Chains A and B, each alone.
Chain A
Amino acid sequence: MSREAAIATNRFGLGARPGEIESAAGNPRRWLLEQLEGRPATPAQFKGFPTTADHIQNYYYRYGVVSPDLKVLEDAAAASKTQAEIDKHATSRKGLLGGYVAWVREQLMLERAARTNVALTTPQPFRERMVRFWSNHLVVPVIKQPTAVLAGPYEREVIRPHTTGKFADMLLASARNPGMTYFLDNHLSAGPNSAYGQRHKIGLNENLGREILELHTLGVDGGYTQADVIALSKGITGWAFWPNAGRPENRDPKNAGRTPGAFNYFDEWHEPGPIVLMGKSYGQSGVAQGEAMLHDVARHPATARFLAGKLAAHFIGDDPPRAVVKRLAAVYLAHDTDLAEVCRALVEAPEAWAAAQSKLKQPEDYVLSGMRSLNLTLADNVVPAPSMYRFPGYRPPPASAGAPYSLAYDAAASMGQKPMGAPGPQGWYDRWADWSSADSLLKRVEWSLATATAHADRVEDPVRYLDQTLGGLASQDLRDSVKRAATKDQAIGLVLASPDFQRR
C-alpha cells in the first residue's frame, strides 16, 4: 500500500473514498497535478442555483415591495380598535416575515447541502480543497444579513473561476462582489469630500479597506499603516452595487440604465483627487484608482510571503519550514500571482510529503473525510425556482430534504465549525490548538461511533475498509485493533475515531 498515495488523498485531498488510494498509487504527484488542469467548471450540484444578481434583486424586492406592505399592516394594527383587528394584522405581518425567514433558512440548507455533495463526490478533491482554502481566505461567511444567502454564489462567481488562475484577479473580483461589499460595509462608505458625502454628511467606513490589507493581501505585519488603511478605503469608495436596498437613489431615473444586481461604480460617492497608498501616489480617476491599488498590493512581496505562509501552514504544518514558504512566495511573484503555479510548487515540495499526519483536520473536513470513506452523500434536494423569491407565496422543499443534511452540518457544528459560518473576516483559524479542545475531540468520537453504527452495512470487510481509507498511514496499533474488534461497526468506529484519522 503506497504511503504517498495515502498522503495525496488525505493531506492534499478531502480524505480517500473507496478506490481513490488505488487511483493515486501509480503516480501520486501526477494524480494531484492533473486535477488542476482544464478550465474550471461549476459543479453540476449547483445547477439552477441563484446568482448574486438574483439575490440582490430579490433583496431589493424585499425592501421595495414587502416593506411597504409591512408598514401598511403595522399602521392598520396601530389604528385598530379591537383586539381581533390587531390580531388579524399581526398575523398577516407574521406571515410576511415568516415566509422570508423560512426562505433564507431553506436557501442556506440547499447551498450547504450542495456544497457538501460537491466535496463528497468530486473527482478533483485537491482542487476542491483549494476552493475551500481561498473561500476561507477571502471569506464571506453566512453570519450577517443579507450576505448569508450571498455566500454560496460568491464562492461560485469569485473563488471557483480563479482557483487555478491569478490571485490578483480573484482579489479584484472579491472586492467588487456585492457579497463582500455587503459583508464589510463598503456599500455604505463614501469619500468625505465626495459629492454624496458632502451632501448627506456621511463619510468613510474603513472595514473593507482594512481587511483587504490585513487579511487578504499584505498581512498584519505587512508594513502598512493606519494612513494606508484610510487610503485604500478612499480608493474603493463608490464600489457598490445597484439597486442598493434602502437608498433613495434607487428610484432616481438616471440610475435606470444600470445593470441590476451586479457591481456598480458610483462616482459621486468616490473620494476625489490623488491618493497615496504605501508610498505611491494613485492619480487615476474613478474605478481605475482602486483597481490600480489592488493590482499593486496583490503583487507586493509582503502579500507573496503572507499567502505562501498561509498555504504552507494549511498543507504542511502549523510552522512550516521557512525554505518552502520562501520558494512558494518566489513562484507567486515570478508567475504574476498565478495560483496554479503555486499549487504545483506545493505538490513538488518534498517538505509536504515528509511531514505527514502533522495537521489536525478541521471539523468540517473531518466529517467530510468520514463520509467519503463510507461513500456517503446527502440526498439531492429540490433546487429553488426563481419564483420562490416572492416569498409571501414561498413553499419549502419536502421536509425529508433536511434529515441527511443534518448528518454533515450538525456534526461539524457540534465540533466547533459551522459550515460556511466562519466567525468573521479572518476566516477559520488553522492551527492544531484551534481545533484540539477536549470537548471538540469528544464530539468527534461521539460522531464517529454513531456514524459507524448507522452505516456499517456499507462496509464488507473492515480491514479492507481501513486499507482503502488510511492505507499506509494507518498505525500498527489501529490495524491490530480493527482486526480484533468485536463487531463491524465497532471496527469502523475505531477507524473514524482513531488519532490516525484525526490527522492529515
Chain B
Amino acid sequence: MLLSRRSTLTGISAAALLAAGAPRMAFSAAPTDQRLVFIFLRGGVDGLSLVPAYGEPSFKAIRGPLADGDPGEGTIFDALKLDGMFALNPDLKAMHAMYQAGEMTVLHATCSGYRDRSHFDAQDTMDRGMVDKTLKTGWINRTLTTLPGQLKTGRDNYAMGLGPNLPLSLRGAEQVGSWSPPKQAQASPDTLERLAALYRRDTQLGPVLAKGLSTEQLGSSMSGMDMTGQGAGSAREFTEFAKAAATFLKAPDGPRLVTIDYGNWDSHADQNGRNNPNDPRVGNFAGRFPEFYLGLDRGINSLKTGLGPEVWAKTVVVLVTEFGRTVRINGTRGTDHGTGGAALLLGGAVKGGRVIADWPGLEDADLLDGRDLKPTTDVRALLKGVLREHMGVGDKALDETIFPDSRAIRPLEGLVRA
C-alpha cells in the first residue's frame, strides 16, 4: 500500500491534518541552492587502504601484504597516484578521475575527538559532532537549526536521511525526512484521514507520520528498488541509495542535504582478499572489501551522473568514517580498530586536486600508542570548513551550536570554489 502523491494530495494534506512542519508554499528562489551530501562509511575504513601513503619509505615493510601493488613495480598504484606521497585505492577509478579534474580533496591523518576504539562510541561521537555524551542530538540536525528559514521554505524536507532509520547525526529538534523504497499498493484516503486523526494527539509519533506522508510524494516515482536495513549494507545498496539521492537533490522542491550510511567496513581479516580463482573459498564470501571500494566508486559516479553537470557544480559530498585502523597488519591479514584515517570531499563545488595532511609519519615513534596513525587534524575542521564556505554558516554557530566548545578547532579554508 503506497501512500502516494495521489492519496495525499486528493484525500488529505498531511501538513494541514497534522499541523506539523512548515506550511507548503510555492517554491521561490532560495538565496543559496547548494547541495550537501554526507556519506558515513561505518565500520572503520582503513585510511591507509583508502589513501595509501606509498611515498613513505617504510610503507611496504609496515603494511606487508596490504601494500600489495605499490609503485615502481608497474602496478595499479602508479595509475592512481595523487601526488608524490599518496595514492588512491586502486578500485576507485572514477573518483581518481574526479581528483584529476580538481573535484576531490583528501584530508589524511584525521579523526574525531574520540580515542578509545569502540565502533559504536566512535560513530556516536562522529554523529553527535562532539565527544561529550550528554548531548543527544546530531550535528547535522543542529546545523539545520542555524540555517536561515527561507532556505527551508517551499520544501517538505530540507534534509533527508536515506534508509528506513534515521542516523543520530540527523536527530534533534528539527524534524527530518527519511526515505526508502515503497513496498506496497495504494491506501485509501479515507483510512489515511482517520489514521491521521488518531496520530494528531500523539506528540511523539504525530509529527513523524506527517513527515513521512510528505516525503512519500517525492519518493513515489522511485519504487522497485530492493533494499532495507540500516542504510546501505552492500555495494549494490549503496549504488541504489546514491542514485536515489541524485533524484531527490535534483527536484526543485526536494531536499538540499542528504545523508547516506554505507556500512560493514570493519576489515579485521583478509582485507585484501579478492575473488580469485585460486582462493579455496567458494562464491562471493571472500574478499568483500575490494567489492566495497568498487561499490563506493560506482555510487559516487552514479551520484555525479544523476545530478547532471549543473547541480553537480553546486554539490559537495563529504565522506567520513568513525576511525582509521591499525597501521600494521594484524594476525589475520586484516587491521584492528585504530584512530587516524582519511576523509574525502568530492563534488563540482570542491576546489580539489590536493591532499591536506599534517603528516605524522609511519615509523614506530610516530604512531599513536605504537599502533595507530596519529590524528593531526580534527575532522571537525573539515566539516566546519564545508559548512562555512559551502552553506554560509557563521563562526558563532559553528563554534557553539553545531560543534560545541570547538573554537580551538579552526575551519579549513579554501575547500570550495569561489
Listed in ascending order, the chain A residues whose CB lies under 8 Å from chain B are 62-63, 66-67, 70-71, 74, 96-97, 100-101, 143, 145-146, 185, 188-190, 192, 197, 202-207, 210, 214-215, 220, 226, 229, 246, 410, 413-418, 421, 423-424, 426, 432-443, 445-447, 449-450, 477-478, 481, 485-486, 490, 493-494, 497-499, 502
Contacts and interface: CB of A to CB of B under 8 A. Distances in A.
B233 interface: yes
Interface on chain B toward A: helix, strand, loop, or mixed SS?
A: loop
Contacts of B175: 438
Contacts of B277: 71, 74
Interface stretch (B103-111, B263-271, B305-313): B263-271
A189 B269 CA distance: 10
Interface stretch (B55-63, B75-83, B211-219, B373-381): B211-219
A114 B193 CA distance: 37
A214 B116 CA distance: 11
A443 B164 contact: yes
Interface stretch (B86-94, B146-154, B281-289, B383-391): B281-289
Nearest to A428: B230
Contacts of B197: 477, 481
B233 A143 contact: yes
B1 A446 contact: yes
B178 interface: yes
B369 interface: yes
B177 interface: yes
Contacts of B190: 486, 490
A414 B183 CA distance: 7
B161 interface: yes
Interface in B216-231: 216, 228-230
Given A197-B331, A423-B263, A185 B208 contact: no
Contact of A493 (B116, B191, B336): B191
Contacts of B199: 499
A197 B331 CA distance: 8
A442 B212 contact: yes
Contact of A423 (B161, B194, B208, B233): B233
A494 B198 contact: yes
Interface stretch (B45-53, B117-125, B354-362, B394-402): B117-125
Contacts of A190: 331
Given A205-B268, A481-B198, A66 B282 contact: yes
Given A100-B282, A439-B178, 7 more contacts: A204-B331, A205-B334, A206-B330, A410-B183, A433-B171, A437-B164, A440-B164
Given A426-B120, A439-B178, A447 B230 contact: no
B202 interface: yes
B330 A204 contact: yes
Nearest to B201: A477
B262 to A, nearest CB: 12
Given A62-B282, A436-B205, A220 B166 contact: no
A439 B331 contact: no
B3 interface: yes
